[in-house]
Structure 1
Amino acid sequence: MKQEIEAVLQLLRKHEEQVLTEWLAEAGSASTRTTDAGRRNMRSEAEEILRTLREALQAGADPEAFQGPGWAPVRQSLEALSRSRAAQGQSAGDTSLFVLAFKRPLFGLVQREVPAAQQMPAVWAISLIVDRMAQWTVSTYQQTREDIIKRQQQDLLELSTPVIKLFEGVLAVPMIGTLDSARTQVVMETLLERIVETGSRLAIIDITGVPTVDTLVAQHLLKTVSAIRLMGAECIISGIRPQIAQTIVHLGIDLQGIASKASLADALALAMEQQGFVITRTK
């Protein structure tokens, strides 16, 4: 395949600007990035990929071993492309099509400038290289999207479990939605950090917004309470509705030793009493 690779390399050296222009035209016809900034960004991406590809071919990198060290700069430029497109919300298909559009200008040059007997081997070499490049962008894109989704999920977890300082020495965590292992871990870590930061001695966990309480949810609550106590603080669970109370009793879950109240207002009143505050009406 060395002869075919040399032929492709010669075409890139001789017609680099033409290849770049035709590639961008082919890719742009199917792209929604029609702004001037989008076109400049596309050109920058294409130039970088073209540069690293030419250097890899000059160094004698084997297309059959695309994951080898000789192709590392090409893979890095494709990874940068995938990360950029994923961050912009474009699909893996659009990213792959951008790379595959590179074939058309090269095929045209092969047809015009390569002897007939060498055209099919050259076309095969081009297809092999570009297809491997496109596959790499898809793999990288998928991994990037997974990382983005994980970060977003983590951010949502943190936003959905705020720790509020009600007054001196008392924190509150209003829980809304399903309480699972991942969310419990976030609640526990955030709450313990805030207990240390504020020196609070009491934490209210309000489960008014938790739709159902089963054995797993109760275990998560017990773990959180245990962690709070290990930090030298105490806990009050509020939002124990009649249905939840019946469920807890039916499941045989032992919440003895844990203060619980039907509403957040009741829990707040108990917290103020435990902290030595007295509420009086002025009128």
Structure 2
Amino acid sequence: MTSSQPRSIAYMEAIKSIITEISHVHALQPMLDLVVAAIQEQLDFYIASIFWYDEAAQEAMLMAQAGKATNEQPLGYRQPVAQGVLGRTLRERRALLINDVRREASYISPQGYDAGGAELCVPIWCDDRLWGAFNVESQVAGVFTEPDVLALELVSAQLGVAIANLELRTNERAMLASLQAQHDQLHELYSLVLQLSTPVIPLFPGILAMPLIGTLDEERAQHMAQELLEAIQRTRCRTVVLDVTGLAAIDAAVARAIVTLAQSCRLLGAAVVISGVRPEVAQTLVALDLSAMSAVVMRRDFADGVGCALRMQGLEIRRI
């Protein structure tokens, strides 16, 4: 770094390397390591460091570094923003070029050599948010010029854009994962609601009851049919009581679904009793003029339906 011309070429090489490679990095730490390594490889600073600004704690945390003095502070080292050229850069939110650090009151001398040399620190912005700072130091006083400031600001700007894009992708992945988790929870809840809204209840040996509650759409009708037919086959049921008292409305589509279910039950050898038949329900079923209805017994309420199912089995309930 003996002249501005070779140094400007080195900066351009570093910037070109960073722009080429940074788009392929999808994690923060490798990205920061890549940037300081590219700068150090081309310009051979005493030390090049990237700090993250913890605004809540008013501290700068060392995230990546390269150079001859990398053993002085470990990664994760925290420096109060009230101290040092780095802290002043973050407080004033602007680039600072200190070509003779012995004249800078805020300068913190690294361990291992006498205070002297130059320091250049520029902020790293993610959109309008101060993310941190890029700090480079030389043991040679007067080595930095305004072109160095512009070049390092360009590097920091590229890094800021890359960090913002990475955060955006990370947030998108987190949002998608959250949405997927919510979808899974809703699916589980919906499955539970379906199971609770179409329960199959064993009443007596050979007799099952299924109360229908709320509204009956196509998906719920399919679920209802699957649950009931599996229960008939599993229990060798001979009579089913379908109670429609709790259905909010029974139009032609719902009535057809109930009749279709009754036909399926009969194919498995189970007779069907429909209970809770209100006058408007009876009118809807009659209007359909379905021949399958002739094999279905209808009763006014659930108690009558259960009594009918018992009699079909040759059973009855007596007071003792």
CA distance in 2, matches of 1:209, 1:219: 17
Question: Which protein is bigger by CA-based radius of gyration?
Answer: 2
Deviation at 1:259, TM superposition (A): 1.0
Q: 2:297 aligns with which of 238, 251, 259?
A: 259
Aligned to 2:65: none
Query: Given the alignment of the two structures, is residue 3 of structure 1 paired with residue 18 of structure 2, yes or no?
Result: yes
**More helix, by proportion:** 1
When residues 181 and 23 of structure 1 are mapped into structure 2, their CA distance, relative to the original with a 3 A threshold, is farther
Pick one of 160, 164, 169 that aligns with 1:123: 160
- How far has the Cα of 1:281 moved from its partner? 4.3
Shift of 1:109: 3.3
* In 2, Cα distance between equivalents of 1:190 and 1:25: 59
Runs of 4+ displaced beyond 6 Å: 11-16, 23-26
Offset at residue 265 of structure 1 (A): 1.0
Q: Secondary structure in 1 aligned to 2:132?
A: helix
Map Cα deviations across residues 230-277 of structure 1 (whole Å, 9 max, x no partner): 222111111101121123334545522211111111111111111111
How high is the sequence identity, in percent, across the aligned residues? Answer: 30
Which runs of 5 or more residues in structure 1 are unaligned? Answer: 27-102
TM-score by length of 1: 0.62
Superposed displacement of residue 155, structure 1: 0.9
1:221-236 paired onto structure 2 within 5 Å: 221-236=258-273
Q: TM-score, normalised by structure 2?
A: 0.55
Distance 1:196 1:25, change over 3 A: farther
Q: Hey, which of these two has a bigger chunk of strand by percent?
A: 2
Q: Is the 8 A contact 1:157 1:183 kept in 2?
A: yes
- Note the C-alpha offset of 1:129: 1.6
Letter in 1 for 2:18: Q
Two-structure CA RMSD over aligned residues (Å):
3.2
Question: What secondary structure is seen at the aligned counterpart in 1 of 2:295?
Answer: coil
For structure 2, list consecutive stretches of 5 or more residues without a partner in the other structure: 1-15, 23-29, 38-47, 59-125, 137-150
Letter aligned with residue 192 of structure 2: D
Aligned to 1:135: 172
Q: CA offsets per residue over residues 161-217 of structure 1, 9 Å max, x none?
A: 111111111000011111111111221121122222222111111000012111110
Match status 1:275 vs 2:290: no
Q: Tell me if 1:249 matches 2:286.
A: yes
The one-letter code sitting in structure 2 at the alignment partner of 1:147 is D
1:161 paired residue number: 198
